[in-house]
Structure 1
Amino acid sequence: MKALIIAAGNGTRMQTVIRGRHKSLMPLLGLKIIERVILGAKEAGISEFVIVTGYKGEKLQGFLGNGTKYGISISFVQNDNWEKANGISVLVAQKYFRENFVLLMGDHVFSPKTLIRIQRLKLKQHECVLAIDKNLDSVCDVSDTTKVMIKDGKAIALNKNLESYNGYDTGMFVCSPYIFKVLEKSTKLDKNSLSHSMRVLISEGKLRTLDIKGSLWADCDTWEDIKFAEKKLLKNLSKPADGILSKKFNRKVSTFITRFLIKTPITPNMISVFIPVLAILTFFLLSKGTYPWLIFGGLMIQFLSIIDGCDGEIARLKFMKSFLGAWLDPILDRYVRITCLRNSL
């Protein structure tokens, strides 16, 4: 399935921070926001992208190129009416889509698992599906979030100003080409927003919903939103298998370290290879067998446990998972454990 990403707006609410730059090129934990969108979609199996640009479109196109550096293909469409609502950005890409497609926002980050799930849904004729979040405490700015009322798996109302709602619009859709017909009719009436066209689909009973069930997503519309997204991404690094010590201490320290490492050229595999070097130093300290060295050695074992989490965290945050890393990490972990265990006996 192809993906359409709309990234034409000028980020009015963030202009005091971006100062003329493209909002989607703002950094977010080691990657640009738009890179997170693209790489997240790639992890969900998408390799063909159409990106609609407008404001500072040449900057965005110059940074991303044709997608080769990400292992994908990117086509660009310029929306000269980018100052109008975002429905026009979807409409100008019409010629690229003859089948169902994924529609994403250039400033919304998400879990690839959600995108995998939504692509698996089988749509009826002319239907679209919207990923929604029923956790009403999951956003930074409720007033600027599009609310949705859901009943029996379908949206029955959608608006930022809804007083009664039970979910949020996450900005992720799977659409049929029928959406372009709806947009054509709507824009002729000067109803240019994507939300308006979705309300047309609602009136026809054709907007289904998919509950993301607590998966990560974040709208990066303001500087506060970006900082909020950072916290959500870092919190999302925890694993169900983490023990009490890991949850309460190790993971907090490792994510603190990771926040700095992701801004450097250090890769997960570099950390994986560096850990055994630290293990040798730990072995040397423990081999002294006397009180102060045993304390230092014990602290080093704890530090090894913490730093061991950083390679996986960087890999997940920067979409750098690899077969080599998956193979190398557990082997080196076993080496470290055996080294420390033998010396403690």
Structure 2
Amino acid sequence: MKISDAVILMAGTGSRLRGSAETIAKPLIPIVGRPLISYAIDSFDKAGVETIHVVVGPNGDELAAAVAPLLPALMKFNPIPNQNWQKQNGVSVLAAAGKVRAPFFLAMGDHLFERSILDQLLAQADPTRLNLAIDRKIASIFDLDDAMKVRTAGNRIVAIGKKLDDYDAIDTGIFICPESIFEYLRRVLRKGDCSLADGVRLMAEEGNALAVDIGEAWWQDVDTPEMLGRAEQEATRLL
């Protein structure tokens, strides 16, 4: 499978990390001497992505200007403003509707991950359905309380949520998405707001959300000073 576009969500304010880096936007925080977001950009480049779309919120122009030089020379760059950045991250995904070629990669601007996760998605994804990279190594999750839990049946997602009691995997925040994700998110948004997990949940209810196991691959959400410390210890494997 060939995926030409990737969407990276960067519209959040990163408030839980402000104590460690008040003046630096979270995607630009240095990890082993490089901006956090540069690792994802490099992985997408090696996976064959041609265009990176970044969804930005407050100070979006400044953030986009700082991210642009991190891209390889031939990779296209498309900043997408989210005027409703105070809402949940499903609204940030919706900001990319009509601007991205599907199927597309979707990732979070504050996640580090090994490129092999993208390879697993490319090898196993169904381009007509949502495909979420999931981690079954639950004992290795750094902050399990805050993690997005997933319950699966074979390769199907049957439930998702941070408060799930019965789960067998963790959401890594890395997806291959079909065009239909936008319509599912619009359906949820009729309530006034929507998270990405809300959209995944609705797709799962209709049999349109699949889980792709990352196996032994490593990833890390960087959402608190403690997670930042863990990421700095582990990120040398990405160099």
TM-score, normalization: structure 2?
0.93
Deviates more, 1:187-196 or 1:214-223: 187-196
SS of 2:88's equivalent?
A: coil
Aligned residue runs from structure 1 range 302-341, under 5 A: 317=239
Does the alignment pair 1:102 with 2:105?
Answer: yes
- Other-structure match for 1:216: 218
Deviation at 1:102, TM superposition (A): 0.5
- Other-structure match for 1:30: 33
SS of 2:203's equivalent?
A: helix
Tell me the distance in 1 between the aligned counterparts of 2:71 and 2:39: 16
User: Highest CA radius of gyration, 1 or 2?
Assistant: 1
Q: CA RMSD in A?
A: 1.6
Identity %: 31
SS of 1:96's equivalent?
A: coil
- Other-structure match for 2:118: 115
Residue type matched to 1:33 in 2?
L
Deviation at 1:218, TM superposition (A): 0.6
Higher relative contact order (CA 8 A, sep 6+): 2
- Other-structure match for 2:54: 51
Would the aligned equivalents of 1:48 and 1:72 in 2 still touch at CA under 8 Å? yes
Would the aligned equivalents of 1:44 and 1:113 in 2 still touch at CA under 8 Å? no
**Pairing partner for 1:147 from 116, 138, 149:** 149
Residue type matched to 1:103 in 2?
L
Q: Which has the higher helix share?
A: 1
Structure 1 stretches of 5 or more lacking a match?
A: 237-315, 318-345
- Other-structure match for 2:205: 203
Give deviations 1:23-70, integer Å, cap 9, x for gaps: 111111121111111112112221211110113212211112276555
Would the aligned equivalents of 1:50 and 1:77 in 2 still touch at CA under 8 Å? yes
- After the TM superposition, which segments of 4 or more aligned residues of structure 1 sit over 6 Å from their partners? none
Tell me the distance in 1 between the aligned counterparts of 2:6 and 2:71: 16
Residue type matched to 1:5 in 2?
I
- Other-structure match for 1:170: 172
Residue type matched to 1:75 in 2?
N
Residue type matched to 1:130 in 2?
L
Q: Which has the higher strand share?
A: 2
SS of 1:51's equivalent?
A: strand
**Pairing partner for 2:76 from 73, 76, 80:** 73
SS of 1:49's equivalent?
A: strand
Deviation at 1:122, TM superposition (A): 4.5
Does the alignment pair 1:14 with 2:14?
Answer: no
SS of 1:75's equivalent?
A: strand
Deviation at 1:180, TM superposition (A): 0.3
Does the alignment pair 1:82 with 2:85?
Answer: yes
Aligned residue runs from structure 1 range 234-249, under 5 A: 234=236, 236=237
SS of 1:174's equivalent?
A: strand
Give deviations 1:157-200, integer Å, cap 9, x for gaps: 11011111111000000000000001111112124110111100
- Other-structure match for 1:268: none
Deviation at 1:216, TM superposition (A): 1.1
- CA distance change for structure 1 residues 122 and 40 in 2, over 3 Å: closer, same or farther? closer
TM-score, normalization: structure 1?
0.65
Structure 2 stretches of 5 or more lacking a match?
A: none
- Other-structure match for 2:231: 229
- Other-structure match for 1:260: none
Q: Aligned pairs, how many?
A: 236
Tell me the distance in 1 between the aligned counterparts of 2:184 and 2:65: 32
Would the aligned equivalents of 2:104 and 2:177 in 1 still touch at CA under 8 Å? yes
Residue type matched to 2:120 in 1?
R
Deviation at 1:111, TM superposition (A): 0.9
**Pairing partner for 1:93 from 93, 96, 99:** 96
